[in-house]
Amino acid sequence: MRFEVRVEVRLREGVADPQGQTIERSLPHLGFAGVSGVRVGKSIRFVVEAADEAAARAEVEDMCARFLTNPVIEDSEVTLTEAAPVG
Amino acid sequence: MRFEVRVEVRLREGVADPQGQTIERSLPHLGFAGVSGVRVGKSIRFVVEAADEAAARAEVEDMCARFLTNPVIEDSEVTLTEAAPVG
């Protein structure tokens, strides 16, 4: 089975996010009011082949823990969707 | 009204993604099989204050077009959720 995967990698709460702070400080000067709490993360998308959804999720969680994230400062959210069969 | 916003910024189809390609090439060496089509994007989260959902969405779409994305090579997907009122 093929699954479309989206992994959202976010900085943990309390970890400073200079990129987000820069965006937030710039917004009022650019005419955008009322925006707060800007946090910038990564979004990684791919397709994974696995026997079933549980196997796919286990593989993706393992990838996240081992090298897609830095678990000290980041956490991740995995979304799996069954992909349409090829051909 | 306050809305929690997630903007996912992705490279357009056909635009080369060296970061994704590097992840994809590394995976088999790390013991992860069956992964293809790796694409790395950004995920930007924030809170926006606006009169209603339509106004919030219009402001966010405008931010995306003007400086959260490079529309030549990137597109964006906006997800809005009404936030719980503050205390």
Domain-located, residue B57: yes
Distances (CA, A) of B57 to A61, A86, B42: 32, 35, 19
CB A65 within 8 A of CB A72: no
pLDDT over 90 for what percent of chain A? 91
Domain-located, residue A27: no
Domain-located, residue B58: yes
The pLDDT value recorded for residue A82 is: 93
Collapsing DSSP to helix, strand or coil, B44 comes out as strand
CB B76 within 8 A of CB B8: yes
CATH of the domain at B8: 3.30.1280.10
Q: Do B35 and A47 touch (CB under 8 A)?
A: yes
Chain B residues within 8 Å of chain A (Cβ atoms):
8-10, 20, 23-24, 26-27, 30, 32-50, 59, 62-63, 66-68
The pLDDT value recorded for residue A75 is: 94
The pLDDT value recorded for residue A67 is: 87
The pLDDT value recorded for residue A87 is: 63
Q: Do A62 and B37 touch (CB under 8 A)?
A: no
Domain-located, residue B6: yes
Q: Do A46 and B32 touch (CB under 8 A)?
A: no
CB B56 within 8 A of CB B1: yes
Q: Which of A6, A67, A69, A75 is nearest to B39 (CA)?
A: A6
Query: Strands of B74-82's sheet, edge to edge?
Result: A74-82, A2-11, A35-49, B35-49, B2-11, B74-82
The conformation of residue A52, written as its DSSP 8-state character, comes to: S
Which residues, given as ranges, of chain B have pLDDT below 50? Answer: none
Q: Do B44 and A40 touch (CB under 8 A)?
A: yes
CA distance A72 to B8: 23
* Residue A2 structure tokens: 């093929």
The pLDDT value recorded for residue B86 is: 65
User: Which of B25, B44, B66, B86 is the best residue to mutate to test the A interface, defined by the most A CB atoms within 10 Å of its own CB?
Assistant: B44
Domain-located, residue B47: yes
Chain A residues within 8 Å of chain B (Cβ atoms):
8-10, 20, 23-24, 26-27, 30, 32-50, 59, 62-63, 66-68
Which residues are A6's β-sheet partners?
A: A45, A79
Across the range A66-85, mean pLDDT stands at 92
Compare all CA atoms of chain B with the CA of A23 and give the residue at the minimum distance: B68
Residue range of the domain that includes A66: 2-14+41-82
On the question of pLDDT at A4 being above 80, the answer is yes
Domain-located, residue B87: no
What mean pLDDT, rounded, does chain A reach?
94
Domain-located, residue A57: yes
Tally of domains in chain B: 1
| Per-residue pLDDT reduced to its tens digit, A5-46 | 999 999 999 999 999 999 999 999 999 989 999 999 999 999
Beta-strand relationship, A74-82 and B74-82: unpaired
Domain-located, residue A19: no
Q: Is A43 buried (19+), middle (13-18) or exposed (0-12) by CB count in 10 A? A: buried
CB A75 within 8 A of CB A7: no
The letter for the amino acid at A56 is A
